[in-house]
Structure formats: C-alpha cells, structure tokens
Amino acid sequence: MSQTNDNEENLDTLDISANHSIDDETLDAFYRREQLQSVLMATLAYIDGRLEKGLTLPYFADIDAELWQEKLKALDIYITDENEGRELNLEARGKDYATNILSYPSDLPAAIIELMPTLPLGELIICHDVMVREAAEQEKTVPQHISHLLTHGILHLLGFDHELGQAEQDEMEAFEVDILAGLNLPNPYIVDSK
C-alpha cells in the first residue's frame, strides 16, 4: 500500500464533530482534519518510540506493547461552546466552569481491545471559546494552543495524569514539549517575555 493510501486510511481514524453553535467557518479555520491528524500521528509516533524504550501506558498496561503499536487508533473530537463546556465539566469533574479540554478514555477491557481491528482511544471535548481566550492570554496562536492541548488530551486518554503529583506532571509536560518540538511548535510552558 502506498504512503498516500496509508495516510488516507489513517484519516478515517479521526472523527470530528461540533456543537450546533460552532459554525463551519470556525471549524475550517481551526479544526481542519489534516492539522488535527498530524498532531495525533506525531503524538502516537512519539509514544511508540517511548514504548520501545520501556514506557508503560497506564490505561493500556494490560495490552502487549507490540499489539498496541500495530493497531490503528481511533479518536473522537467534539468541539463545543462555553455553555455546553461548562455543563460537561460540571457533570464530569464537578467543576462549575468551562475548561479548555476534557478527556474521556475508551476504558475498554484488554480482551475486547485485542479483538478489535482499531483501538479506540476515547473522546476529547474542546471548548473553543476557552481555547481562544487562553491563546490570547498566553500570547500564542490559536492553532499552537489547540495543538498543545490536543497532545495533552491524547496523553490523558493514554492514562497520563499531571494531577497525580509533581513527577507525573513533569513527565507529561516533558512528553508534550518533545512532541510539539517534533511538530516545530514552541515549548508551551515558556512564556515569551518581551
């Protein structure tokens, strides 16, 4: 199979949908499939490299690393507004505000995943309003911020959690910095002082 066909097949592993309040112009400007796909593929390639060096994925520890690497991955992304983002964050985390990204891992048993041709990673919900506001506050472009938080969210879907402690936060942030550098994007944790 040629590289083009491989890429087209991999594009099928990404499903992007949006709340009715998010217009097509916003989706076309900030959530193009090719851009999101490149972040997904870069994150998965980085993780594959780390698996070869002995990394264990917290949510996929029961699955053989080679099997995990062989499977196509599926990711659902849902773009929403601040109102629905607030409701979802309250329901999921008990926090009464809209957050930038929510991660819902697939949480399937290893025995089921082993039988599936495609491994579902889960769903990421991006609150566009928060994303745009944070990008402006952090003096980043919206696409840079989306790329960072998409990487961040995918790592959450794999079981990494910066809220467990400083070591976990440092590990996750180091992964994010490395992945983004591979995409020629700046370190999101360094504030550019002008």
Q: What are the pLDDT digits (tens) for 21-31?
A: 999 999 999 99
Whole-number Å distance between alpha carbons of 82 and 97: 8
pTM of the model: 0.88
Are 154 and 40 in contact, with CB atoms under 8 Å apart? yes
Residue 143: predicted pLDDT: 93
Kindly indicate the confidence band of residue 192, based on its pLDDT and cuts at 50, 70 and 90: low
